[in-house]
């Protein structure tokens, strides 16, 4: 299939059956061992080592499939790993172990980079795949008393027959604890939240659109109220002309500060979005009143308002965001206030990285300023990250700015140092970890605390910087979805920069947990 000789009408009237991987580790491994022949499993020159390796491969296959249920914590992109990947890995294993030796380097490369890695397109997912593979498919797994997880429940049994392995599989827990995936208990909350969200969105989609004849407000009235609310709260434009003169001071070579150029680009992007919002709201108001025809585009905006969703007309022009409409509007007001404060009051003491349309441009501008100041090649510069144990909330900054006289320093700015080079940045949230102010390292998240705030970070440009190998390379994403479209750099468009965080634990510990930083939350 597909075949030109097969009648299409038969296909159209047939019952379609899909063969999905079983849910849960136990069911997944059981399926792998049901399809395995005793001769392949038991008759090999390597003996028990062979059986342990096969069990490790099957367990690894089950783990990477089950990680999908944790959403972005498991994989940035949801890959369709299937049974043929496992079969291919086992055939390669058989081919390379004919002589009684185990060429680990070759097998790990073929399994991790080709058989399974060939499907993986995201750089950070490739790192995660290699880390997970190491736990189930490496020379250490053949050591005596080796356990797949700290609990000691999961391990490769020292048995000789296929039936003994099947009996062991039947005694595995029915419900999978997040620790076997190397994850925190909060990962289960993420999974349950994802399932609930899917259910609620499905219910919303199948709801009837017609308004009842009861006492409550009609759909038109609800939408009109929302339109009026958004129009009064969201500014119409940001004025570059009213910008502070301090932003336009040039250096001895007559060059403008790179961050002022970044600001100008941000203002243009925000003005384009603000103009679209106000134009579409005006058209929608007229359409509801019957003054113009309700186009398909306006109907989509209307339905989005009823469901508390951001209209696709706006989100296609806006920055990436997963927030519902109410939170999205609040966030937009905060972003425009951040840019407006920068315009009128000059450069802020600490930059709110979540407030940028294009945060990568801001970071490049910072490096460019440093390169000009010290006459260095920009391609040799990278950031060193210094943690400052002070927390800063942008909403509080905007409120404080309203009460302070023009030219006066904000009270929260006095808590921050004034670095000679680089910039101070705030507004990052931690996913699957938290910051320990006492030890100044990242630690396991507290139960039920999903996305704690990261303190203010000093992004300090350094020439040919060689980071300490103990630092954890944490990706910073614009939204919690993590996935974006793959750009020419090999990274997702959702990816901003790699932040190096101090840790007392191994990198693999945090990689398996899916620890990362986010510019904004989903709520």
pLDDT score at 178: 92
Q: Taking a C-beta distance cutoff of 8 angstroms, is the pair 510, 433 a contact?
A: yes
The answer on 374 and 331 residing in a single domain is no
Into how many domains does the chain fold? 3
CB atoms within 10 A of CB 420: 7
Residues 147, 26 share a domain = yes
- Taking a C-beta distance cutoff of 8 angstroms, is the pair 72, 514 a contact? yes
Distance CA 162, CA 159 (A): 8
Helices (H), 323-413: 325-345, 359-374, 394-403
Beta bridge partners of 460: 384
Mark whether 74 and 92 lie in a shared domain: yes
Position 488 scores a pLDDT of 62
Residue 43: per-residue pLDDT: 87
In 3D space, the residue among 19, 36, 18, 20 whose CA is nearest the CA of residue 169 turns out to be 36
Instruction: Give the domain extent around 427.
Output: 349-522
User: Both tokens of residue 75?
Assistant: 């994989």
Residues 83 and 132 in one domain: yes
In a shared domain, residues 388 and 498: yes
Q: In 221-304, where do the E strands start and end?
A: none
| Residues 498, 445 within the same domain | yes
* 292 lies in some domain: yes
From 347, 374, 408, give the residue that closes a domain.
347
Residues 41 and 179 both lie in one domain: yes
pLDDT of residue 297: 92
Task: State the pLDDT at residue 167.
Answer: 95
Same domain for 406 and 393: yes
Task: Tell me, yes or no, whether 359 and 487 share the same domain.
Answer: yes
Residue 120: CB atoms within 10 Å: 22
In a domain, 199, yes or no: no
The sign of the CA dihedral 247, 253, 255, 258 is: negative
Segments in the chain below pLDDT 50: none
Do 357 and 332 lie in one domain? The reply is: no
| The predicted structure's pLDDT at residue 275 | 96
Question: Are 325 and 354 contained in the same domain?
Answer: no
Q: Same structural domain for residues 317 and 363?
A: no
- Integer Cα distance of 319 and 359 in angstroms: 10
């Amino acid at each position: 299939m597909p075949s030109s000789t097969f009648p299409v009408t038969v296909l159209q009237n047939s019952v379609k059956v899909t063969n999905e991987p079983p849910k849960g580790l136990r069911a997944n491994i059981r399926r792998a061992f049901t399809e395995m022949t005793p001769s392949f499993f038991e008759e090999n020159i390597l003996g028990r080592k062979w059986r342990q390796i096969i069990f490790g491969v099957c367990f690894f296959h089950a783990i990477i499939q089950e990680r999908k249920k944790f959403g972005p914590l498991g994989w940035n992109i949801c890959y369709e790993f299937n049974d043929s990947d496992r079969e291919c890995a086992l055939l390669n294993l058989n081919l390379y172990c004919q002589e009684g030796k185990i060429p680990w380097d070759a097998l790990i490369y073929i399994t991790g980079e080709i058989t399974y890695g060939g499907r993986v397109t995201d750089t950070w997912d490739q790192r995660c795949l290699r880390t997970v593979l190491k736990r189930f498919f490496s020379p250490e797994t053949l050591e005596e008393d080796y356990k797949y997880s700290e609990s000691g429940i999961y391990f490769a049994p020292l048995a000789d027959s296929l039936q003994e392995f099947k009996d062991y599989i039947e005694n595995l827990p029915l419900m999978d604890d997040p620790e076997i995936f190397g994850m925190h208990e909060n990962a289960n909350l993420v999974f349950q939240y994802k399932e609930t969200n899917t259910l609620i969105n499905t219910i919303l989609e199948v709801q009837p659109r017609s308004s009842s004849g009861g006492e409550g407000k009609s759909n038109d009235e609800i939408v009109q109220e929302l339109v009026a609310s958004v129009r009064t709260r969201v500014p119409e434009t940001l004025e570059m002309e009213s910008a502070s003169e301090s932003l336009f001071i040039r250096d001895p070579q007559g060059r403008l500060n790179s961050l002022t150029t970044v600001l100008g680009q941000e203002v243009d992007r925000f003005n384009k979005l603000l103009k679209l919002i106000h134009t579409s709201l005006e058209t929608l108001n007229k359409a509801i009143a019957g003054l113009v025809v309700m186009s398909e585009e306006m109907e989509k905006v209307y339905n989005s308002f009823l469901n508390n969703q951001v209209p696709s007309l706006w989100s296609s022009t806006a920055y990436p965001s997963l927030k519902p409409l109410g939170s999205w509007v609040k966030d937009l007001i905060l972003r425009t206030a951040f840019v407006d404060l920068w315009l009128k009051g000059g450069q802020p003491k600490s930059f709110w990285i979540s407030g940028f349309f294009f945060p990568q441009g801001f970071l490049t501008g910072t490096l460019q300023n440093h390169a000009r100041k010290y006459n260095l090649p920009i391609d040799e510069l990278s950031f060193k990250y210094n943690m400052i144990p002070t927390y800063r909330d942008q909403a509080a900054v905007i409120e404080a700015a309203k009460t302070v006289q023009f030219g006066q320093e904000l009270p929260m700015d006095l808590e921050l140092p004034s670095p000679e080079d680089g910039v101070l940045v705030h507004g990052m949230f931690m996913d699957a970890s938290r910051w320990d102010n006492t030890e100044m390292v990242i630690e396991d998240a507290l139960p039920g605390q999903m996305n704690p705030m990261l303190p203010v970070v000093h992004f300090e440009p350094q020439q040919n910087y060689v980071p300490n190998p103990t630092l954890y390379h944490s990706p910073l994403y614009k939204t919690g979805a993590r996935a974006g479209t793959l750009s020419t750099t090999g990274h997702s468009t959702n990816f901003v920069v790699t932040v190096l965080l101090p840790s007392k634990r191994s990198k693999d510990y945090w990689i398996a947990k899916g620890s990362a930083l986010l510019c904004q939350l989903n709520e």
